[in-house]
């Protein structure tokens, strides 16, 4: 049975669960692997899944140099940079808080669209949503407290990762959004581009740290690598390969506005798994701030009345 026969609503719910659980998988992976190792293994395993599906469905990758140039940029903004930043952020903050950081993606998308897409004019409702989102981030950070607030660098990395997603989607819309490359061509090519970038980044990281790291794929000394490696492979196969295929199918079937609403469910799943499975705890300002950020994201993405 082909993936097209699965209702888009089922794929939508699957995306929320898969991407929401990705923060749990990254936290488990960090028990034995470094952030750049996680992002590289994630993209390579996810890319292999999409390449296999592309061969099975007869999908051909694009051949134009200009298209590949754009895919290199979108691969960096939608995979290379955010995957690495989220993994790094979780070395300093909880997986639940990292999932909350992902909720800024719709807000970042709106801001980027205002700057790079002249046809997207800001409305009072959208500006209000952005300001509310910034207020929610401030509440989460709790700058009025000396102790008990999130690590600024770690949470900042997750916010930057969510912002990178927003920039990437606007870049795609501006450059190659007007044409459907067909089948799984675009997500597959995007992961191929990101995989090449991350291999270079991984080798560079290893050259800098080779005095303490034997090989680029060496696990942390004294760690038990089985479950961390399996968690990252699940993150790649499901959270990147299968999820990327589902995402493009949802956007094709229901439109980009409906497809973007999955972002509101991801933090909820991430928080539930972090609290229930990993025993993480969030303070009440973080719950309040998260609710404001998610609500503001929904406000900015709500279609305008005509």
pLDDT digits (tens, 9 = 90+) for 193-233: 999 999 999 999 999 999 999 999 999 999 999 999 999 99
Q: What is the 3-state secondary structure (H, E, C) of the chain?
A: CCHHHCCHHHHHHHHHHHHHHHHHHHHHHCCCCCHHHHHHHHHHHHHHHHHHHHHHHCCCCCCCHHHHHHHHHHHHHHHHHHHHHHHHHCCCCCHHHHHHHHHHHHHHHHHHHHHHCCCCCCCHHHHHHHHHHHHHHHHHHCCCCCCCCCCHHHHHHHHHHHHHHHHHHHHHHHHCCCCCCCCCHHHHHHHHHHHHHHHHHHHHHHHHHCCCCCCCCCCCCCCCCHHHHHHHHHHHHHHHHHHHHHHHHHHHHHCHHHHHCHHHHHHHHHHHHHHHCCCCCCCHHHHHHHHHHHHHHHHHHCCCCC
> Would 243 be classed as within a structural domain?
yes
Q: pLDDT digits over 94-126, tens only?
A: 999 999 998 888 888 888 888 888 776 767 877
> Would 48 be classed as within a structural domain?
yes
| Number of domains the chain is built from | 1
Residue range of the domain that includes 204? 3-301
> Would 199 be classed as within a structural domain?
yes
Q: pLDDT digits over 243-285, tens only?
A: 988 887 887 777 666 666 787 788 889 999 999 999 998 888 8
> Would 306 be classed as within a structural domain?
no
């Amino acid at each position: 049975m082909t993936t097209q026969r699965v209702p888009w609503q089922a794929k939508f719910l699957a995306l929320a669960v898969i991407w929401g659980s990705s923060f749990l998988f990254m936290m488990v992976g960090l028990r034995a692997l470094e952030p750049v190792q996680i992002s590289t293994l994630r993209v390579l395993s996810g890319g292999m899944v999409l390449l296999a599906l592309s061969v099975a469905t007869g999908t051909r990758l694009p051949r134009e140099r200009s298209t590949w140039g754009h895919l290199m940029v979108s691969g960096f903004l939608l995979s290379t940079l955010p995957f690495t930043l989220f993994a790094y952020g979780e070395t300093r903050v909880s997986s639940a808080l990292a999932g909350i950081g992902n909720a800024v993606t719709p807000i970042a998308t709106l801001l980027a669209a205002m700057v790079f897409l002249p046809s997207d004019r800001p409305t009072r409702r959208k500006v209000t949503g952005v300001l509310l989102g910034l207020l929610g981030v401030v509440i989460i950070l709790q700058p009025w407290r000396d102790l008990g607030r999130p690590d600024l660098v770690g949470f900042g990395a997750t916010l930057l990762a969510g912002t990178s997603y927003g920039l990437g989607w606007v870049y795609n819309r501006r450059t190659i959004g007007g044409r459907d490359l067909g089948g799984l061509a675009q997500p597959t090519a995007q992961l191929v581009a990101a995989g090449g970038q991350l291999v270079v980044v991984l080798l560079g990281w290893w050259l800098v740290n080779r005095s303490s790291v034997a090989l680029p794929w060496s696990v942390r000394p004294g760690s038990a690598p089985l479950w961390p490696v399996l968690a990252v492979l699940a993150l790649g196969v499901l959270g990147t390969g299968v999820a990327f295929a589902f995402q493009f199918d949802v956007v094709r079937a229901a439109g980009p506005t409906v497809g973007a609403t999955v972002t509101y469910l991801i933090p909820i799943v991430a928080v539930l798994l972090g609290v229930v499975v990993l025993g993480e705890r969030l303070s009440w300002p973080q719950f309040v701030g998260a609710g404001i950020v998610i609500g503001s994201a929904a406000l900015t993405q709500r279609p305008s009345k005509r």
